[in-house]
Amino acid sequence: MAKNRSKNAPHHFLIITGLSGSGMSSATKAFEDLGYFCVDNLPLTMLSTFARLLIPNEEEHPAIEKAALVINIRERHFLSQFQSELAKLERKDLKPYIIFFEATDEILHRRFSETRRPHPSVGGKSLDRSIKAERKEMQALRKLADLIIDTSEHTVHTLRRSLMETFRTSKDGAPFRVQIVSYGHKFGNPRDLDLLFDVRHLPNPFFEPNLRELTGEDKRIVKFLDKYPEVAETISRFSDLLLFLLPYYRREGKSYVTVGIGCTGGRHRSVMVANSLKRVLTRHKYDVSVNHRDMQK
């Protein structure tokens, strides 16, 4: 770990750089969830221009409170002009906190092989030679870093948790949100669900002619489902499981969790259960939103 050159910089203005494949993209997502305004692959010539947005000017614009810029070898002027651009910032009394990400050659080789992405500095060289060449080229920049992070032993999740713990600016950290999505299996599962609960085992109002056209938000549907003990039992067990799991998701550094509730058509049962779960989690002080994806289909 390099010496910290600026006491306040880590929570204000970050420059994320390092070796290709070392985890900079994963780090950027973590900083976004920490409330940083993130820009990936900013042209180096725009660094001073962007930095002006960090200086308060009430007449023109409010300052960006926290920013994280990813600048790496993909930017063609990066290595030759980086130090001179830093000097320009220093003259404006802006001292970015530089984080340099790296990993062993073996780990970098494995990551590029697994993802089948070309190394950005290949230029006709083999992957091994490209990795070694980039490491050599980046040595001078590495010496400027305030913090060096070796991600060789990190997974995406452990790296995220480490960054969240290091750079959060309050005791509570980033906001933690829960989104509940009701949907119909016949329309396909939503993407990016963290948890999925199926409620097709519950009585289906669709087979009641006077209820078929209603939705799970209608009090008549709620009354129909409330008659069955298995509905209340299902909601209770789902609620208990969520209240057990959510603190662990938060501990792992996640800032949001998406929960899917699926029934056949996404109109009745999943809607009613999703709304019920929201009420329970809200009572336990969670920030919860509900999206009824297929309710009107």
Grouped pLDDT means (10 residues each) for the chain, 297 residues: 40 88 92 88 80 68 79 71 83 86 93 82 76 90 91 86 75 72 94 92 96 96 97 98 94 83 98 98 94 92
| Integer angstrom CA distances of residue 188 from 191, 196, 219, 229, 255 | 9, 13, 27, 28, 26
| Integer angstrom CA distances of residue 77 from 47, 71, 83 | 12, 10, 11
Rounded Cα distance between 51 and 54, Å, is: 5
Sheet containing strand 37-40, edge to edge, reads 37-40, 67-70, 13-18, 97-102, 147-150
Phi then psi for residue 294, to 5 deg, are: -115, 15
Task: Note the pLDDT of residue 1.
Answer: 37
Task: Note the pLDDT of residue 196.
Answer: 97
User: For residue 151, with 0-12 CB atoms within 10 Å meaning exposed, 13-18 middle and 19 or more buried, which class applies?
Assistant: buried
Every domain of the chain and the residues it spans: 9-167, 177-292
User: Of 80, 74, 71, 136, which Cα lies nearest the Cα of 98?
Assistant: 71
Task: Note the pLDDT of residue 61.
Answer: 56
Beta-bridge partners for 148 = 100
Is residue 73 a contact partner of residue 134, using CB atoms and an 8 Å limit?
yes
Rounded Cα distance between 237 and 240, Å, is: 5
Count Cβ atoms below 10 Å from residue 169 Cβ, excluding itself. 14
CA dihedral 31→33→38→41, nearest 10 degrees, is 70
Domain 9-167: state its class. Answer: alpha beta
Rounded Cα distance between 241 and 131, Å, is: 45
Is residue 276 a contact partner of residue 235, using CB atoms and an 8 Å limit?
yes
Rounded Cα distance between 275 and 182, Å, is: 9
Task: Note the pLDDT of residue 173.
Answer: 53
